[in-house]
Amino acid sequence: MLLIALAGFGAGAINALVGSGTLITFPTLVALGYPPVTSTMSNAVGLVAGSVSGTWGYRAELGGQWDRLRWQLPASLAGAVLGAFLLLHLPEKVFGAVVPVLLVLALGLVVLGPRIQSWARRRAEEAGRAPEHVTPARMAVLVLGTFAVGVYGGYFTAAQGILLVGMMGALLPESVQRMNAAKNLLALVVNVVAALSYSLVAGHRISWPVAGLIAAGSLIGGWVGARYGRKLSPNGLRAAIVVVGLVGLYRLLAVA
């Protein structure tokens, strides 16, 4: 019980900072003897609590983003519903095969994000636009990208946070901390849809004591991760994202 709660704490903290907390809790449950399906579903339900506390911890950074988030949130919701539907009809290996490729792409965008933003800022200034202005075309790409990550997250939750930060970093003139706040909120929507889908369709396969332990641990972990993650420098937060992403990539490839 203590080990599961500690794994939940670690996953909640990492999800608030980066994403990929599932890569801590899922292997822990499997190592303790829980079947993979039970581990997946119990983990998804339990980590919703950590998503809530992590989002709440970053609430100040959400200020000024609602004009954009009012489009992104429905995209995440619709994508998550479709992803949950696909979960019931497609084998996990379909998405599992493309996860490493998506993760490498997202990490590349996280690293190159500042350069892409600088290039976009110069282009905007040359065109006589404010650097903070997001063109309709870029907004459309952003919403479609959010929807695509929502589909992925509703089906296979691991590393969706890294994908969101990488995608937004390539498209938005925002700081990495503000993008991280938006990522937490969007991932929360996806996680709630996934958890509800598991609960309604296959609630008998969820270990509710395990989900409760993970929820308790991740609730605290999400708050701690947000509290200290907000104090990291932009480069420090990017470094944390890349390190966690590389560890996750290694584990995904090792399992494959």
Q: Supply the DSSP symbol for 62.
A: G
Mean pLDDT over 43-57 rounds to 92
Residue 233 has a pLDDT of 80
Q: Work out the percent of the chain whose per-residue pLDDT is above 90.
A: 31
Q: Nearest 10 degrees: CA dihedral of 128, 175, 149, 203?
A: -150
Give the pLDDT confidence of 58-113 residue by residue, as tens digits.
999 998 889 899 999 999 999 999 988 887 777 666 666 666 776 677 677 667 76
**In this predicted structure, what is the pLDDT of residue 110?**
67
What is the predicted pLDDT for the residue at 198? 84
Question: Could you report the per-residue pLDDT of 27-39, keeping only the tens digit for each?
Answer: 888 888 888 778 8
Assign 129 a pLDDT band (cuts: 50, 70, 90): low
* pLDDT, position 35: 82
Digit-coded pLDDT (tens) for 156-174:
776 788 888 888 887 887 8
Q: Is the pLDDT of residue 20 over 60?
A: yes
Residue-level pLDDT at 95: 60
Q: pLDDT grade, residue 182 (50/70/90)?
A: very high
Range of the domain at 43: 1-255
| DSSP, residue by residue, 173-227 | ---HHHHHHHHHHHHHHHHHHHHHHHHHHHGGGS-HHHHHHHHHHHHHHHHHHHH
Rounded CA separation 74/256 (Å) = 33
The number of domains in the chain is 1
